Structure formats: C-alpha cells, structure tokens
Amino acid sequence: MAKPSGSRVALLGFGTVGQAVARILCSGEVPQVQLTHIFNRNVDAKRVDWVPASVRWTDVVEDILASDADIVVELVGGLHPAYEWVRSALLAGKSVVTANKQLMAHYGTELLDLARAQGREVRFEASVAGGIPVLRALQEGLAGDRLVEVRGILNGTCNYILSRMQADAVSFGDALAEAQKAGYAEADPTEDLDGADAAAKLAIIAAVGLRRPVRVTDIATRSIRPIEPVDFEYARQLGCTIRQIARASVEDSGAVFAAVRPALVPLSSGFGQNAGSQNLVTVRGVFGGETSFSGHGAGGSPTAVAVVSDVLSVRRAAGEAAPPSEPTPFHIVSGDFVAPHYVRFTVNDKPGILAQVTAAYARYGINIEGVLQLPKFRKDRLPFVTTLEECSESVLDRALAEVAQSDFHVQAPLSLPIFA
C-alpha cells in the first residue's frame, strides 16, 4: 500500500472527545489529514456550523464502513456495538484509532491480530490516561528495556475522592458528591469506585509495556467504598496516605501478577503527593530502573490530542508491511498480594478483643508489627488498627473471615496493603 498524500478520517461518535478531535482536524493544523465523515445517532441534533460543508454527516454506520475513509476513529465507547463496528472497519480495509479502554481491554488482542492479518493498524494511545502518552513511551521510548512492573493511579475519580478525604476529612459520600458536581464522577460511578475502569487500563498497559496480555476479567479488584476518614488519620500516623493503585508485574518465575486495590502509600512518595484527578504511572525496567509519567488522565482536549497523534502515527506507518504473527496467547494471572498490611477493626469494645484477633493471626502464621488506637472514639464504635508484617492477602482474608464471626464487630474489618 503506497503512502497516501493525505489521509481521510471518519469519526464514529461526536460527543465531547469527538467534537474536540473534529476541531483539531478542522483547524488547519494537520493539513495532511482530512475529516470526511461524522457518524452519530440523532445526527441532525449534533450538526455544528464550524465543520466544513464537505464533511458528510450520517447516522448510518454502514455509510462509514463503505466510505473512502482510510482511518476510522471510534469514540462511541462501550463494548457493543463498538467491537462489531471496529472489526467491520478492519475487514473493510480501514485502520482504526480508538479511545475505548473497555474495548481494548476485552478485545484488544483479537483486534490487533486481525489488524495485522489485514495489513492495517489499530492505535489506542487515548484509551489509557488520555493526556499522558504513556503507551507510546512504553512502545518506543522504553523499547530497549525489559519492563517487569507497572504501578499506577489510573482513575481520576478515585484519586479525587481519596484526596478530598485526606485533605479535609470529608466522608466518602460527600467526596463522591463533590466529584460528581465537579464532573469528575459519572452519575453511576460503579466502574470507577470498584476498580473496573483502572483494571481495563491496567490490562492494556500490561499487554503493551510488560508484553503480557491478560484477560481483564482475571484482574482482581477491590473497591474504595469502605474507606473512611479515620483510615487517613491512622495512615498519617504511619507516614502514609491512601490511593487506588493498579499494579502489574512479571515475577522471576514468569508468573504475571495484576490487581487494583486501595492501598497505603508513603506521603512522601510520588503516589502520596499525587492529588486531585491527576494520573500517575510508574514503570520499572531491568536495565533502566523506574520511569514515571503524570498528567491529566481524561478530558476532551487532552484525549483528542492523543487521538489525533494516533491518526498521524497510522498515516506515517502506511505502506509498512505488518509482520506475520500467530494469535497472541493470554497469560494466567495471580492477584494475591504479598505485602505488609493495614487492618482496621470497628468494634463494640470489651475485654479480650485484641487477644481474639492476635490468636486468629497466629493460627494463620501472620505476624503483627504494631497496634494503633486513637483515644477520641466512643467505646461502642471504636476503630483500632493492626499493622502486619508481609503476608499473603488470601491468607489474611481467611484469618479475617474467622475473626468476623465474633460478636464484637460493628462493621466488617478493612484490610489494605502497604506499599513502600
């Protein structure tokens, strides 16, 4: 395929990001790329006068698939029908650029294999931390290293909520309401709060950076919902704060670890200092050590810049033969943390509680490092904390399930790993 003098682009979706992409393509700043088609449901309500008259508007996706566009930019989001449309575009001989993290987390390996078979491209920089070119950095800037670990704050909603709870001791519910009012959280924030959003991004980074494709459904997740202001008080006594951390690593045995968890991190660390809706990604290589990337994780304009950059990358790659490849296998994933842990109990205080807790720990071979108890709380709802030496999360869960059978609990224990 000869390198074209100008690439023709069709947009699937004209929401916040789609409009921002169209503005860049219509600005004259990228004359080598021409916007030719815009698809959106209820397209007449979406028309704007700043898009050139030469651009065709449609609400029929088949118009896009049958068009002369070289590149389809998918910005409709979700799994379906985005998957079917992207697959059809590749089969129609078009390259694809997408900002759809769920699509790439669930179907990315299949779509990349199909693109190679068709001699086309799928680019997806904007699907992870839209304002940070982290995937390009992993593929190009760090290509000479063998990356073995990635840790990241990949969800701006959770980071905003936890930052507010840390700064002003507001409740989880109040911090969530603030995030929704500020536009950082959706009306239904389930995917953000419970880790599914970060898990999708982690799956993409693991495939690109660690070269270990994993099924997003195999990534263990835990919610930030049980965290309370008191946890930040206790964390501060330990020189820490709390963040939602997505972590994937390749162990010496070759096993792949991947999980998304709220965790204690040192206040002085990059993760502890990362506040508001900012994203932060740190990767560790065998030869180059640690490298970090930070910036806005989402938003119309930053994501649009990443999308247009991918469009230009596809154009530059036109004419290059894709190497043949076998279907890419998935790797088996473990999500069992081995780390020091923080465990907060909330109890109706009476003699012998600590003895029962320590006895349960002992039965499972778990060593206590310390006990923390602030004096200001009511006895009938008393929070106290045990910090533990390194232990397996699965073993700790079994010990806590046993302790939870006792009648002194006011609510379930909360366990969080402690990261250095």
- Report CA-CA distances (Å) from 407 to 320, 350, 379, 400, 411: 68, 11, 15, 13, 10
d(CA 121, CA 112): 8
Beta strand ranges found along 297-360 (DSSP E): 333-334, 338-347
Q: Which of 56, 58, 114 is nearest to 84 (CA)?
A: 114
d(CA 120, CA 164): 45
| Length of the chain (residues) | 420
d(CA 59, CA 43): 6
* b/e sequence 179-211, b meaning 16+ C-beta within 10 Å: beeeebbeeebebbbbbbbbbbbbbbbbbbbbe
* Residue 138 φ/ψ region, left for φ over 0, alpha for ψ in the -120 to 50 degree band, beta for the rest: alpha
Give me the residues paired with residue 256 across strands. 250, 333
What residue type is 154 in one-letter code?
Answer: L
The reply to whether omega before 266 is within 30° of 0 (cis) is no
Pairing of strands 95-98, 71-74: parallel
CB atoms within 10 A of CB 320: 11
Two tokens at 74? 């998918």
Q: How far apart are the first and last CA of the chain?
A: 51
* Active site members: 201
DSSP three-state, residue 382: strand
Two tokens at 391? 């232990």
d(CA 294, CA 205): 15
